[in-house]
Amino acid sequence: MKAEFSFAGGKPEANEESELTIMISNEDGTPVKSFTENHEKLLHLIVVDHSLGYFNHIHPAYQGEGKFTIKTAFPEGGEYKVFADFIPAGGSNITKSEWIEVSGKESGHTEIKPDSSLVKEDAGKEVELNLSSSKAGEEAVLSFHIRDASSKDDITNLEQYLGAVGHVVILSEDAEQYIHVHPIDEKTSGPEARFATTFPKGGTYKIWGQFQHGGEVFTVPYVVNITD
């Protein structure tokens, strides 16, 4: 199965909205016409920059005949990687990716370093991450404990975000390893949200946890080291 990513008008410009088209086809070039909904969407698109400092999780609209489109903008020039995550009807989950070039001024490359603390704050929430294992090849349970950042009270009324308590995306530092992570209990509402995965090999990985509370989606990023 193939995915082709293209922009109307050619190479996109930084800070300008561009229309991205994603064509999903079989190896013989015939379009894949039917998809299975996955977490309330037919296709999830993840966009990161080369240093993994920028992260965007968006949902292109299906136009039929294997074609998805979405308008989006990139904050600065340089290399970005786009990941299309989808399930063809009758099949299993597939991820296709491609590096793209965005015109415009580019910031310097920021080295990705493991975090000294796995407690992060966003949108008034304090989120602490614990990993049951940091060894490649072993099942690792990722537990996110979510509190109010001011009061430190546990948040027990998380809302469903795309049909689950939250969503987690993991990438290796070179963006070559994309890990699709599923919650252990999709319907829990906090304060603990647990996800199970296996890291394929040792190295540095970036983890993004996304949750919803009070109608607002918040994203917490972590960088961890995984040993062989």
- Reported as a single tens digit per residue, the pLDDT across 81-119 is 999 999 999 999 999 999 999 999 997 778 899 999 999
The length of the chain in residues reads: 228
Question: What is the token pair recorded at 28?
Answer: 């013989």
Q: Which domains does the chain have, with CATH numbers?
A: 2-102 (2.60.40.1930), 119-226 (2.60.40.1930)
Radius of gyration of the chain (CA): 18
Backbone dihedral angles phi then psi of residue 39, each to the nearest 5 degrees: 50, 50
Four-CA torsion 9, 14, 18, 22, nearest 10 degrees: 90
- Are 211 and 100 in contact by the 8 Å Cβ rule? The answer is no
Please state whether the predicted TM-score (pTM) of the whole model is above 0.75: yes
State how far the Cα of 223 lies from the Cα of 165, in Å rounded to an integer: 21
Q: What is the sign of the dihedral through the CA atoms of 67, 68, 73 and 79? A: negative
Residues 6+ away with beta carbon under 8 Å from 79: 49, 50, 99, 100, 101, 102
pLDDT level of residue 9 (50, 70, 90 thresholds):
confident
Q: What is the residue type of 75? A: P
E strand residue ranges, 103-175: 119-122, 125-131, 139-148, 167-172
Please report the pLDDT score of residue 111 as a whole number: 86
- Reported as a single tens digit per residue, the pLDDT across 53-72 is 999 999 999 999 999 999 99
- Are 77 and 104 in contact by the 8 Å Cβ rule? The answer is yes
- Are 15 and 74 in contact by the 8 Å Cβ rule? The answer is yes
Mean pLDDT of the chain: 96
- Are 47 and 72 in contact by the 8 Å Cβ rule? The answer is yes
